Chain A
């Protein structure tokens, strides 16, 4: 039973990796990173549920903190996308190829 959840989590992670690697739009890359983080927290909860000591809430706690940090990361990332769009008038990461302001 645990390996089924691990497989689903691995598939979710791979789909997030696909979105982060193969799309050119910056928002898609953020969506992919969010999916990868959520797949990791699914793994934590699955190990907590099927692990040897499910009465300690360790896995659930790690997942809660991971969700909070992912929310902060999404806020900063989307703010960066808006700032970049104001400056360059595009959000395609292929055209953002200079560090000069």
Chain B
């Protein structure tokens, strides 16, 4: 695993995420959100989960980011910028990060050696989805259908 590539991707992803969280204009933040998820997909490629990285790009950059942009355009009259930053939110976020970092460094049982790269092909993933994980797959299908119908009912225009 390439350390330089890891550092570059980490800096890119975290700065894009920070920009998405702090930029005052909604549209810029949505574009930075898409960039941050491209970086996250690069992490999945580094972790030799290529299929998952592609799924992340398709779902987040292709669908969720476009959905967010559509919502921003539909709620456009609300153009006042989001200026004021809540100081307590910053404090809580930094405290959570410090707590997680301490927990990671204090855990002694993390494996140190890098194991050999596992080979996980799309064929294996598909076979696992159709055999061991078939019930979760069906449940997620029902959940997605219900969520889409619910979203339609929420936004449908009421006839007066």
Contacts and interface: CB of A to CB of B under 8 A. Distances in A.
Interface in B120-155: 120, 124-125, 128-129, 133, 136, 140, 143-144, 147-148, 150-152, 154-155
Nearest to A72: B147
Contacts of B78: 85, 89-92
Given A2-B110, A18-B89, A82-B71, A54 B118 contact: yes
Nearest to B133: A61
B interface secondary structure, majority: helix
Given A45-B47, A79-B152, 4 more contacts: A10-B100, A27-B71, A27-B75, A76-B150
A46 B47 contact: yes
B17 A25 contact: no
A24 B33 CA distance: 17
A24 B133 CA distance: 39
B14 interface: yes
Given A71-B59, A85-B78, A13 B10 contact: no
B75 A28 contact: no
A5 B29 contact: no
A96 interface: no
Contact of B128 (A8, A22, A42, A57): A57
Contact of B140 (A3, A16, A68): A68
Interface of B: 1, 6, 10, 13-14, 17-18, 20-22, 26, 29-30, 33, 36-37, 40, 43-44, 47-49, 51-52, 55-56, 59-60, 63-64, 67-68, 70-72, 74-75, 77-78, 80, 82, 84-90, 92-94, 96-97, 100-101, 104-105, 110-111, 114-115, 118, 120, 124-125, 128-129, 133, 136, 140, 143-144, 147-148, 150-152, 154-155
A21 B88 contact: yes
B7 to A, nearest CB: 9
A interface secondary structure, majority: helix
B140 A15 contact: no
A21 B92 contact: yes
B56 A81 contact: no
Contacts of B43: 5, 8, 42
Nearest to B53: A45
B49 A15 contact: no
24 contacts: A1-B1, A2-B111, A5-B43, A12-B14, A17-B96, A18-B90, A23-B85, A23-B89, A27-B72, A28-B26, A30-B68, A32-B21, A35-B21, A42-B43, A49-B49, A60-B52, A61-B128, A67-B60, A68-B59, A70-B64, A74-B64, A78-B70, A79-B154, A92-B78
